[in-house]
Amino acid sequence: MTKMADFAPPAGGMRPPRNVRTDLDDLSAVRVKSELDLHIVRMLELHPKLKVRFRNYDLASLDHDTKTTLLNDINLVLGVKTLKKRDT
Amino acid sequence: MLLLPNEIDLVRAEDNYVVEARFVRLSRTIAKTKIDGTWWQDLDAPTEMRKRENDNSWHWASRLGELRNSRWHEAFAIETLDGDIQGAILYWLNARSFVESEKGAVYVEALSTAPRNRSWLVSSPLYRGVGEGLLVRAAFHSYVVGLEGRVNLLSFRDERTISFYTKRGVESVGEEDGLEQMELSPTEAFRWLRDEGYDL
């Protein structure tokens, strides 16, 4: 919680985005069983450049550790570093 | 593995005491029973003032119903230990940046704090930090899905609302149907996440 914590007025128009991306892959057929699965599938859809390297992964056949490794590899390719909560 | 944070600290307004709360996925049931059916009931505020609130006619449950087959939206709420919902956010992960249209961004369709948490509406508001926490979560989500923390939204064009967001690094970048287009850049998102205690 930052020192700016304040009372917030509402925002947004309660309507969907006008400009949605059209360059996304469609992996809606992939079965998602967990938050981790959903996260991985979304990463693959949001970043079409990952297609070549990771598209053949069958999530249903992977255990949790393997999925975690897969996500780490995806993050490495995209330059997404792990956010860690600082000890206070 | 930390995909998204589950906990949040709020500030109890009456004594500035920090209290723990948590993020919960916003279901239609929660929206119906704890937002639509309660937020505007028994509120210590005149009807005219309630009507001036931009979100007083929003129906969260029906909106979530409309989106039940959508794959790209996320809806979360902040729940305090007493089970009450203190604020909610609905956002999309498949939007474009207002500034760099070739880039993706998280688009906030709706963000509300419970009316009891609005100092201009009630005499004794309960919690501060609710809306800020919801927006930080959106920035966090944007970062972890590789959108670099970009978050955008349409703000009502009143001084209070625009000021709230600009103070937090969300810049006005245009206009859309009478609403202000605002966007949090990757630089500002990272600064904000760092201020919230997150390190790489």
* CB environment B53-66: b (16+ within 10 A), e (fewer): bbbeebebbebbee
Kindly state the percentage of chain B with pLDDT values over 90. 88
What is the ipTM metric for this complex? 0.90
Give the CA count within 13 Å in the CB-facing half-sphere of A88. Answer: 9
- Using an 8 Å CB-CB cutoff, list chain A residues near B199: 83-84, 86
Closest approach of B49 to chain A, Cα-based (Å):
14
Distance of residue A75 Cα from the nearest chain B Cα, in angstroms: 8
Task: Dump pLDDT digits (tens) for A8-50.
Answer: 999 998 889 998 998 888 888 888 889 999 999 999 999 988 8
Select from B3, B118, B153 the Cβ nearest to the Cβ of A11.
Answer: B153
Q: Are B86 and B10 in contact (CB under 8 A)?
A: yes
Specify whether the CB–CB gap between B25 and B76 falls below 8 A.
Answer: yes
pLDDT, one tens digit per residue, over B45-88 is 889 999 999 999 999 999 999 999 998 999 999 999 999 999 99
From residue B32, alpha-carbon distances to A14, B28, B29, B65, B116 in Å are 16, 6, 5, 11, 17
Amino acid at B153: L
pLDDT of residue B199: 85
Q: State the smallest CA–CA distance between residue A33 and chain B in angstroms.
A: 14
Q: Are A41 and A73 in contact (CB under 8 A)?
A: no
The neighbouring-strand residues paired with B91 are B74, B108
Q: Evaluate if residue B92 carries a pLDDT over 80.
A: yes
A61 — pLDDT class (breaks 50, 70, 90): confident
Instruction: Determine the residue type at A41.
Output: V
Q: pLDDT tens across B145-199, in order?
A: 999 999 999 999 999 999 999 999 999 999 999 999 999 999 999 999 999 888 8
Q: Mean pLDDT over residues B104-120, rounded?
A: 96
Residue in B63, B119, B133 closest to A7 by CB: B119
Chain-wide mean pLDDT for chain A? 85
Closest C-alpha to B130, from B11, B18, B4: B11
Per the structure block, which two tokens stand in for B35? 């937002």
List, in sequence order, the alpha helices (H) in chain A.
Answer: 35-46, 51-54, 64-78
Gap between the Cα atoms of A32 and B105, Å rounded: 23
0.90 surpassed by pTM: yes
Question: pLDDT band at residue B200, thresholds of 50, 70 and 90?
Answer: confident
